[in-house]
Amino acid sequence: MADPISPFHRAPKAEDWTEAEAIAAAQRGGAEAFEWLYQRHKRRVYSLCLRMTGNTAEADDLAQEAFLQLFRKIATFRGESAFSTWLHRLAVNVVLMHLRRKGLPEVSLEETTEPTQEDGPKRDVGGPDMALIGSVDRVNLERAIGRLPPGYRTIFVLHDMEGYEHNEIAQMMNCSIGNSKSQLHKARMRLRDLLQQPQSQGAARP
């Protein structure tokens, strides 16, 4: 509804800002600019936090922490890298720090933990010939990602959802590139197994 009210009813609106303008305004301390940046990036940051932790309460805290850290440092942003790259890397670090504090293994120790189903001959449900093609639906996939062990989930989210390369992941997680690759393979294999299970089995199985 067009508002025939006084010219100062609405502030000259941030909608027209470019990101660089919003960053400059935030560097001057303007509340509107921070909100502009938050609104633009909130979903990607939040979904990263949610998918890496699988827990909404933790995701809330971590997304908040990531934005606070970013905004506290915004005066130092000089545009060497893209703002979104800077923010997402910072958010990943916040989540990884959190997982470390919780003592969760970010990367499973090779072979020693998590016997995966490719180790055994039995893929009981569906049989080894069953291919998933065409049958991966979003709800099942979300659920399956949530059921991955934390180490697998981290690698899968970073590589296959966030688009980081193995060398970047190895650096962030302090592991070898080979380890990152083998964990990713296991994560995908586990997802494939989870997706082949009938849905009625749901979350009941450990």
Partner 1 sequence: MTDCQKFEAALADTPELERLAPPAREHARQCIRCARLLADFQAIVGQARGLLAPEPPPELWADIRRQLEAEGVIRDAAGEPAPAKPGPGAPLVQSAPRTSR
> Footprint of partner 1 on this chain (CB under 8 A)?
8-14, 25, 28-35, 38-39, 42-44, 46-47, 50, 59-60, 63-64, 67-68, 71-72, 74, 129, 131-138, 141-142, 145, 156, 160-161, 166, 181-182, 184-185, 188, 191-192, 195
User: What is the three-class DSSP state of 169?
Assistant: helix
Tell me the closest approach of the beta carbon of residue 204 to partner 1, in angstroms.
22
Considering beta carbons, is residue 7 or 115 the nearer one to partner 1? Answer: 7
Considering beta carbons, is residue 6 or 112 the nearer one to partner 1? Answer: 6
Tell me the closest approach of the beta carbon of residue 36 to partner 1, in angstroms.
10
| Token pair belonging to 49 | 């936090």
**Cα 163 from Cα 165, distance rounded (Å):** 6
Tell me the closest approach of the beta carbon of residue 53 to partner 1, in angstroms.
12
Tell me the closest approach of the beta carbon of residue 1 to partner 1, in angstroms.
10
**Cα 73 from Cα 20, distance rounded (Å):** 15
**Cα 176 from Cα 205, distance rounded (Å):** 31
Tell me the closest approach of the beta carbon of residue 103 to partner 1, in angstroms.
26
Altogether, the residues listed in the chain come to a count of 206
**Cα 196 from Cα 135, distance rounded (Å):** 9
Considering beta carbons, is residue 89 or 188 the nearer one to partner 1? Answer: 188
Please state, as a whole number, how many other Cβ atoms lie within 10 Å of the Cβ of residue 103: 6
Backbone angles phi, psi at 169, to 5 degrees: -65, -45
Considering beta carbons, is residue 74 or 103 the nearer one to partner 1? Answer: 74
| Token pair belonging to 19 | 């990101």
